[in-house]
Amino acid sequence: GPTDRQSLKGAMDTTSNPVPTAQSGPNLLADASWFDSNWMWLSTAFFPISVVLVCTYFRGSIRQKLENPYVLGWLSVPAYLVHQTEEHAYDLRGWHYAFVPYFNHGPATVLFPECPQHLSCPIDVPLATAINVS
């Protein structure tokens, strides 16, 4: 297998591994299906619904709810929905669909040095949807 030095050299190669820009994510979504381009907005929409459901389903004061392990467990759902929005809709820089280009440019170059190019390898748009929706 490749050495660490070879993997890092591949990560520095800007022809097969271009540095992501604010347009990298939208460019990946240009030919994607409607669902592949929009599933992350479903997470955004379900966030407030999940918070209301968790807060109204369980009885007691706020303190009692926060001491209830079931409430804390179910609060992981809205937290994950916010995470999906931030990671795949718009990140903190304001870049749309930035995770896939970031991952392919960064960690994937070391984990998957056999990729011929890192624009959509190892993660492409349909695979990102499958990972996050299933």
Contact call for residues 16 and 9 (beta carbons, < 8 A): no
Q: Following DSSP, what letter does each residue of 36-96 receive, concatenated?
A: HHHHHHHHHHHHHHHHHHHHHHS-S-HHHHHH-HHHHHHTHHHHHHHHHIIIIIB-TT--B
Residue 119's pLDDT is 78
Give me 73's structure tokens: 């467990």
| CA-to-CA separations, 116 to 26, 69, 120, in angstroms, rounded | 21, 47, 10
Q: What are the tens digits of pLDDT across the range 11-58?
A: 455 566 778 999 999 999 999 999 999 999 999 999 999 999 999 999
